[in-house]
Chains A and B, each alone.
Chain A
Amino acid sequence: MTLASFLDPPGPRGRRRQRVATVVTAVVVVAVAVIAVRRLAEQGQLDGDRWDVFAQRSVWMFYLRGFARTLQAGAVGGVLSLTLGLGLAFGRLARGRPVRWVATAYIEAFRAVPLVLLMFFAFLGLPRLGLDLGPFWSVVAGLTGYNSAVFAEIFRAGILALPAGQTEAADAIGLRYWQSMRFVVVPQATRAMVPAIASQLIVLLKDTSLGALVSYEELLRRAQITGEFARSPLQALAVAALFFAVVIFALNHLARRLERHRPAPVRDGLPAEALLPAAAAQASR
């Protein structure tokens, strides 16, 4: 509902007031934009030579390949996180106590710490323990460490959301635990989990940009390099931001279309960043 639904339809005076309010708002917005643009121009930020570097095709290729690396780390991290997350979810639902405790402890701990800390640990800490992953795998390790815990909770919630009658029926026809998981529980649970998984995959892709902090040359790091080289950090960054915004906006849109067809999507275990865009879909239905 919008609040408009419990407002009476405006009369002539109300409509006039609304029109005035619209005009005032528009004027304020335009004024702020004009001031910002004028200040930028005064500081020479909009001068052509600040953007010269983007006249070269090679710089665009530099960005595009950086973005390919963003997708690469995101895709590898996504696949690993989903796999490990599924394992962890079964671990947490397992009957054996030690397994359950270990899985639970992992999930609760890794969901609660900053992803950037995990990346730093993979990049700076693991080499001390004899495992030098390099930038790419440090990014993937960090992404996987955090997101596997998040996915585990999504999977668990999806499995638990299934009516108990389903597993009982599977038991009744003599299916073993893994058979009932494989043929009855997981296929049905997956359908309800798809929107949540999609939302979280998008969050994961956004978080790939943290790789810039451990010298992984993805899009953001390459924008920084270009800004440093061309002495126009703001412009180089703005181009990268536009890249991110367009792609992620499109993906968010796609993810919302997924959501519209779910009567009762699973949302437990989703962190706020993924939870709310997903919820927004329902509202805008």
Chain B
Amino acid sequence: MDVIADNLDSYLGGIAVTLWLSVLSFLLAVVIGVVVATFRVSPLRLLRTLGSVYVEVFFSLPLLVWALLFFFGLPKVGLTYPPFTSAVIVLGTFTGALVGEALRSGINTVPPGQGEAARAVGLRFWQVLSLVVLPQALRTMIGPLGSILLALVRNSAVAAIAMSVDDLMWRSDQLATSTAHPVEVLTGTFVAYLILTVPGTWLVNALARRYRFTR
């Protein structure tokens, strides 16, 4: 246990990086997700196709494969980013597909009659969306979005290892191999991830219950 006490700073720093990485990636994912979801419900067939292709590609590629493709590929088209930024982009684009799909499912839970009624009283397209459909859809999306955020925290470990970002997982890997106490170090990491995710799970469940409505 001394190993953990001795390296407590490293753990805390790692937790901070993991949190920061997850939060920024989530914001990016939400932006991408909104665009993708809009594409997928748009009246333009081409946009719908683009949206589906985006989602299908990311549902079909393992995260680590995507991370490595990004690592090797993007510099070849002239774009280079520092490791942390790369990890945010990799996680954000990957998770964006999940968010997009969650938003679309959420919109689908709103009965079509709601939209039609809104149209009937003379609301315009964007008013229908922002005043009637989305407020109802958002409530049903709390659960899925929370679950996506938690998956993102877990996935951040993969991106960080692939990109050499000094998050919780990366630092533990270094400590595990350099201190000759892998059991203690990795058990500490396990607990650290629980501290990060378990309260989050409870919060998400509570929120989802609070805002759930039955039709």
- Measured CB to CB, the residues of A under 8 A from B are 1-8, 10, 18, 21-22, 25-26, 29, 35-36, 39-40, 43, 45, 108-109, 112-117, 120-121, 124-125, 128-129, 206-210, 212-213, 220, 224, 227, 233-234, 237-238, 240-241, 244-246, 248-249, 252, 271-273, 275-277, 279-280, 282-283
B77 & A25 in contact (Cβ 8 Å cutoff):
no
Q: How far is the CA of A35 from the CA of B44 in the complex (A)?
A: 25
Q: Which residues of A lie under 8 Å from residue B173 when comparing CB positions?
A: 120
A241 & B61 in contact (Cβ 8 Å cutoff):
yes
B197 & A112 in contact (Cβ 8 Å cutoff):
yes
A5 & B115 in contact (Cβ 8 Å cutoff):
yes
Nearest Cβ distance between residue B143 and chain A, in whole angstroms?
9
Q: How far is the CA of A237 from the CA of B74 in the complex (A)?
A: 13
A39, A234, A238, A248, most chain B CB atoms within 10 A: A234
Known: A7-B43, A29-B50, A116-B161. A36 touches B77 (CB 8 A): yes
Q: How far is the CA of A280 from the CA of B101 in the complex (A)?
A: 7
A4 & B43 in contact (Cβ 8 Å cutoff):
yes
Q: Closest A-chain residue to B158, C-beta based?
A: A116
A114 & B193 in contact (Cβ 8 Å cutoff):
yes
Known: A1-B107, A273-B98, A280-B105. A113 touches B154 (CB 8 A): yes
Nearest Cβ distance between residue B146 and chain A, in whole angstroms?
9
A1, A8, A227, most chain B CB atoms within 10 A: A1
A113 & B161 in contact (Cβ 8 Å cutoff):
no
Q: Closest B-chain residue to A124, C-beta based?
A: B182
Q: How far is the CA of A195 from the CA of B105 in the complex (A)?
A: 17
Known: A18-B44, A283-B104. A237 touches B65 (CB 8 A): yes
Across the interface, B193 reaches (CB within 8 A) one of A45, A113, A271, A272, namely A113
Q: Which residues of A lie under 8 Å from residue B69 when comparing CB positions?
A: 234, 237-238, 241
Q: How far is the CA of A109 from the CA of B47 in the complex (A)?
A: 41
B72 & A237 in contact (Cβ 8 Å cutoff):
yes
B77 & A39 in contact (Cβ 8 Å cutoff):
yes
Nearest Cβ distance between residue A8 and chain B, in whole angstroms?
7
Q: How far is the CA of A209 from the CA of B61 in the complex (A)?
A: 10
Q: How far is the CA of A165 from the CA of B72 in the complex (A)?
A: 58
A-B pairs with beta carbons under 8 Å apart, 30 shown: A1-B110, A1-B112, A3-B125, A6-B116, A8-B119, A25-B46, A109-B198, A117-B169, A117-B189, A121-B186, A208-B62, A209-B62, A209-B65, A210-B64, A213-B161, A227-B72, A238-B73, A241-B61, A245-B60, A245-B61, A248-B59, A248-B60, A248-B62, A249-B59, A252-B60, A273-B151, A277-B101, A280-B55, A280-B101, A280-B105
Q: Closest B-chain residue to A9, C-beta based?
A: B43
Q: Closest A-chain residue to B110, C-beta based?
A: A1
A244 & B62 in contact (Cβ 8 Å cutoff):
yes
Q: Which residues of B lie under 8 Å from residue A273 when comparing CB positions?
A: 98, 151
Q: Which residues of A lie under 8 Å from residue B107 when comparing CB positions?
A: 1, 3
Q: Is B183 an interface residue (CB 8 A)?
A: yes
Nearest Cβ distance between residue B95 and chain A, in whole angstroms?
8
Q: Which residues of A lie under 8 Å from residue B112 when comparing CB positions?
A: 1, 5-6
Render B119-162 as a binary contact track against A, CB cut-off 8 A, 1 for contact.
10000010011000100000000001001101100111110010
Q: Which residues of A lie under 8 Å from residue B77 when comparing CB positions?
A: 35-36, 39-40, 43
Q: How far is the CA of A150 from the CA of B196 in the complex (A)?
A: 19
Q: Closest A-chain residue to B198, C-beta based?
A: A112
B65 & A244 in contact (Cβ 8 Å cutoff):
yes
Q: Closest A-chain residue to B55, C-beta based?
A: A280
Q: How far is the CA of A273 from the CA of B99 in the complex (A)?
A: 10
A277 & B59 in contact (Cβ 8 Å cutoff):
yes
Across the interface, B62 reaches (CB within 8 A) one of A25, A207, A279, namely A207
**Further 15 A-B residue pairs, CB within 8 A, beyond A3-B41, A3-B129, A283-B108:** A2-B41, A6-B116, A7-B125, A22-B44, A108-B201, A114-B154, A117-B169, A120-B186, A128-B183, A206-B63, A237-B65, A240-B65, A241-B61, A272-B144, A272-B150
